[in-house]
Structure 1
């Protein structure tokens, strides 16, 4: 599966429903119609795509969208959520996190509506494994298959040092539009 195939599946899930759990189940169903090798390729593309969001500026954005707090896990699941916003939004946001404000989901969060879901999509990280298990009958078989091929994918964020001291809070300060949209979460 190439990168376009990966994004086609994500966009198909997005078109299918707004509910993130239903999207994940749809992805599992679609992947379970493929070979184990194709499911592995989906997982590899997922890690490849995610890498662009594993930056300190994105962590700063995640902190703002999460009421001023963002652990490793929260940031990891935030990355998956941004992927779920679609290819165009994702590619723009990884180049400039301030463009997240163009996404309706982020505007909904900024408005503080009671129906706004937290900006995370943890289950996306397990869809390939669930599909692999359906196809092969092997519990956690995807991880064993990757290990057998010497593939060790990241399981938590590890942004590269970009020269700005202070981590996520300092990076959030460099996102004035997001700070304005999420004033209660803006760093002091």
Structure 2
């Protein structure tokens, strides 16, 4: 699967926002098992690409804190919003203010399970199968959690958040 196809699947799933996870799984299940594995690999690469201190400042302002899990789920949420939002988060993180408000829940943990669920649905294998997309991607060194590469960039101190993210700060503080 090409990255372009990955983003097309994400964009199509956005049309069904109230149940985006199920729509993603439905769309992905139409692809080959190899493509489903590729989807997982691309997703993990993108989660790792988003691991940057300038991105980490966004959920710090929205939620007031960042834990390991909440940061992973936040990066999944960014990916689930499509290529344009992904690029904004990396290049101009304060511009995420255009799509958030006090009611925003920046969490899309379900993205982490889409490929495995689609793979199991299509193949009939169980949850412990070594060929599940998560296991294949992990064996290729694509870990976004405990064995992830170091976070990129320079850490932003709490006192600097209002100046670095003025648009987001105005919404949430």
- TM beyond 0.5: yes
Equivalent position of 1:9 in the other structure: 9
8 Å CA contact 2:57–2:156 kept in 1: the answer is no
Name whichever of 83-92 and 150-159 sits farther off.
Answer: 150-159
Q: Is the 8 A contact 1:13 1:26 kept in 2?
A: yes
The residue aligned with 1:178 is 168
Q: TM-score, normalised by structure 1?
A: 0.79
Q: TM-score, normalised by structure 2?
A: 0.85
Query: What is the rounded CA distance, in whole Å, between the counterparts of 2:135 and 2:168 in structure 1?
Result: 41
Distance 2:74 2:160 in 1: 16
Partner of 1:41: helix, strand, or coil?
Answer: helix
- Output the aligned Cα RMSD: 2.1
Query: Residues 144 and 51 from structure 1, CA distance in 2 versus in 1: closer, same or farther, beyond 3 angstroms?
Result: closer
Q: Which runs of 5+ in 2 are unaligned?
A: none
Q: Map Cα deviations across residues 10-50 of structure 1 (whole Å, 9 max, x no partner).
A: 000002x122xx11111111211222111011111111222
Residues 1:151 and 2:140 aligned together: yes
For residue 111 of structure 2, what is the aligned residue in structure 1?
124
Does the 8 A contact of 1:133 with 1:139 survive in 2? yes
Q: Deviations over 1:81-109 (max 9, x none)?
A: 11122211221121111010122xx0xx2
Picking from 36, 44, 48, the partner of 1:47 is: 44
Number of the residue aligned with 1:69: 65
- Matched-pair contact (CA < 8 Å) for 1:6–1:45: yes
CA drift at 1:121: 0.3
Confirm or deny that 1:162 pairs with 2:153.
yes
Gaps of 5+ in 1: 184-188
Question: Is the counterpart of residue 95 in structure 1 residue 91 in structure 2?
Answer: yes
- The structural deviation recorded for 1:75 is 0.8
Deviation of the 1:117 alpha carbon: 4.5
Aligned pairs, number? 166
Distance in 2 separating the partners of 1:161 and 1:52? 9
